[in-house]
């Protein structure tokens, strides 16, 4: 006999759906306009760091656009093709955005290294003015998305794009001032390289969480040995095996397990009581909102006494 238990949660990201969507759309529009202005200004000023900032700002606009689309998709209800619903669309969007951050960071590093060998003149005033406008826009965009970023991996990825761009704008302003005051054109690729390093550090530190969810990994804050011990300590449980725990998205966690009853409690009523106790335990103590339990009789467990406690053996292919 098996049991299934699932709490449905509204998709909530700290901002009302339509209100949050409008904020993201405004941020996309503003960043597209800023990208065009920065790119033109960077070309005329001869500033690699300003062009780099424009490129990263374009990735901001793209990341916000991807985040917006993912938000809309994630609200779709479950159906016969997506029985868990579409909530992982936001995790996929986060993975895409962190990956583009890594690509941008590597490209900027490559361009900066080339500029060390082939330095070019830079118009410091134009760099400072355009980067100052960019910084103001970056701060405004960050303010619009900050609240949503605290509870959504998807929006957090876009928000970090924006934070990195704000840091880049500060770097560009510093470079422009040093060029104006000391005529240190070499500072342009140095600042670009620093921006690249920061972007790569930030992207690599965040991308693991998205990959972990998509790989059906155990939630990072869940203590599996403690969970196994707690399940085995439930009244009426002899042992558990084939235990799987994974994140449906960053807010919901699921569990499935085979639960073996002792000989003296080998009936359907005992099984139902055990399932109820386990559901209560995993929900209250471990935050697991979706559980599927298969109850087995001690006299006929599915694989005898050697069944694997966590996960299950998969036969090799070919």
* Alpha carbon distances (Å) from 80 to 2, 27, 72, 83, 255: 21, 35, 19, 6, 21
Q: Return contacts of 296-299, CB within 8 angstroms, 24+ apart.
A: 296/258, 296/259, 296/260, 296/261, 297/260, 297/261, 297/266, 298/238, 298/260, 298/261, 298/262, 298/263, 298/266, 299/263, 299/266
Phi, psi of 193 (to 5 degrees): -65, -40
**pLDDT for the residue 140:** 81
**pLDDT for the residue 120:** 67
DSSP assignment letter at 75? T
- On the 0-12 / 13-18 / 19+ scale of CB atoms within 10 A, 215 is exposed
Who wins on pLDDT, 200 or 12?
Answer: 200
**pLDDT for the residue 10:** 39
Q: What are 44-100's pLDDT values in tens digits? A: 777 776 676 677 677 778 878 888 888 888 889 988 998 888 989 989 998 998 898
Q: What is the mean pLDDT of the chain?
A: 80
Q: What are 30-46's pLDDT values in tens digits? A: 778 877 877 787 777 77
pLDDT winner (highest mean) among 10-19, 171-180, 192-201, 253-262 = 253-262
Read off the pLDDT band of 283 (50, 70, 90).
very high
Q: What are 7-21's pLDDT values in tens digits? A: 444 344 444 456 677
Read off the pLDDT band of 6 (50, 70, 90).
very low
pLDDT greater than 60 at residue 5: no
Q: Domain segments of the chain: what residues?
A: 11-214, 224-306
Name the superfamily (CATH) of residues 224-306: Cation efflux protein, cytoplasmic domain (3.30.70.1350)
pLDDT greater than 60 at residue 162: yes
**pLDDT for the residue 15:** 47
DSSP assignment letter at 76? S
pLDDT greater than 90 at residue 112: no
**What is the CATH T-level fold of the domain 11-214, as seen in this structure?**
Alpha-lytic protease prodomain-like (1.20.1510)
Q: What are 284-298's pLDDT values in tens digits? A: 999 998 899 998 887
Of 121, 215, 203, 106, the C-alpha closest to 158 is 203
Neighbours of 117 (CB within 10 A): 7
**Is the CA virtual torsion 21, 26, 27, 29 positive or negative?**
positive
Residue spans of alpha helices (H) in the chain: 17-45, 48-74, 89-117, 124-149, 153-182, 187-214, 224-232, 268-286
What are the structure tokens assigned to 214, written together?
Answer: 């998509």
**pLDDT for the residue 12:** 41
């Amino acid at each position: 006999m098996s049991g299934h238990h699932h709490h449905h949660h509204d998709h909530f990201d700290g901002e009302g759906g339509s209100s949050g969507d409008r904020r993201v759309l405004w941020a996309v529009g503003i960043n597209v306009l800023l990208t065009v202005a920065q790119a033109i200004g960077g070309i005329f000023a001869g500033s690699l760091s300003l062009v780099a900032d424009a490129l990263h700002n374009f990735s901001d606009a793209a990341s916000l656009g991807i985040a917006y689309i993912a938000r809309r998709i994630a609200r779709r209800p479950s159906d016969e093709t997506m029985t868990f619903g579409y909530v992982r669309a936001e995790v996929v969007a986060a993975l895409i955005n962190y990956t583009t951050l890594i690509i941008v960071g590597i490209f900027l590093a490559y361009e900066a290294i080339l500029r060390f060998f082939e330095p070019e003149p830079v118009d410091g005033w134009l760099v400072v003015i355009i980067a100052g406008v960019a910084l103001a826009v970056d701060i405004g965009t960050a303010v619009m998305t900050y609240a949503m970023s605290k509870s959504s991996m998807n929006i957090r990825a876009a928000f970090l794009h924006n934070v990195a761009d704000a840091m880049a704008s500060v770097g560009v302003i510093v470079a422009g001032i040093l060029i104006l005051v000391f005529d240190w054109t070499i500072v342009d690729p140095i600042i670009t390289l620093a921006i690249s390093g920061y972007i790569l550090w930030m992207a690599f530190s965040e991308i693991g969480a998205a990959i972990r969810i998509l790989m059906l990994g155990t939630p990072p804050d869940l203590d599996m040995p403690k969970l196994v011990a707690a399940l085995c300590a439930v009244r009426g449980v002899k042992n558990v095996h084939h235990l799987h725990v994974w994140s449906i998205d960053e807010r919901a966690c699921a569990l499935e397990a085979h639960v073996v009853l002792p000989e003296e409690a080998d009936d359907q009523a005992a099984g139902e009581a055990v399932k109820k106790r386990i559901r209560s335990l995993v929900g209250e103590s471990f935050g697991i909102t979706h559980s599927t339990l298969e109850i087995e009789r001690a006299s006929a467990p599915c694989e005898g006494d050697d069944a694997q406690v966590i996960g299950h053996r998969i036969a090799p292919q070919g």
